[in-house]
Amino acid sequence: MARNLILCCCLVAVVAVSVKADDKLDKVNVDEILNNDRLLKSYIQCMLDADDGKCTTESKEIKSRVPKVVSTGCNDCTPSQLERAIKVLKHITERYPAEWTKLKAKYDPTGEYTKKYAEAWKQHGVNF
């Protein structure tokens, strides 16, 4: 009985890891986006717009995930996703402060998550 339970738990863990490992956003070239002002601004505009009319497939997917990442502080992120989130947040907070202020106003209007996770992000070098 215990052996079957352990086997079942291992199987669930493998499936969970494989689902996260095959994330369609893992193929998005973050450096390409961050190093191209026009492209980055289009992604930021997508995040800020109420509709998805001018969003690419990738930016729509990112936009759909932003509320969860904000509300959890990326606690559910894989190491690869966390690394990429840190890179993006550092870039935007340092080089696009006006856009960062707008993004925070949209996705954390009360400042609840900023307060809750600011120290954790700061440990990763991101200043909220």
What is the rounded CA–CA span in Å between residue 122 and residue 118? 6
The mean pLDDT of 108-123, rounded to a whole number, is 94
Higher-confidence position of 20 and 52? 52
What are the extents of the domains in the chain? Answer: 2-123
Indicate if the pLDDT at residue 23 is higher than 60.
Answer: yes
pLDDT single digits (tens) 35-68: 999 999 999 999 998 778 889 999 999 999 999 9
Q: How many CB atoms lie within 10 A of CB 92?
A: 19
pLDDT of residue 127: 86
Q: Please state at what angle helix 97-107 crosses helix 57-72, rounded to 10 degrees.
A: 70
**Residue 22: band (very low, low, confident or very high) from pLDDT cuts 50, 70, 90:** low
The mean pLDDT of 110-123, rounded to a whole number, is 94
The mean pLDDT of 15-28, rounded to a whole number, is 58
Q: Look up residue 68 and give its DSSP letter.
A: H
pLDDT of residue 13: 34
- CA 21-22-24 angle, to 5 degrees, is 125
pLDDT single digits (tens) 88-101: 999 999 999 999 99
Looking at 2.60.40.650, 2.170.150.20, 1.10.2080.10, 3.30.1490.20, the CATH number of the domain 2-123 comes to 1.10.2080.10
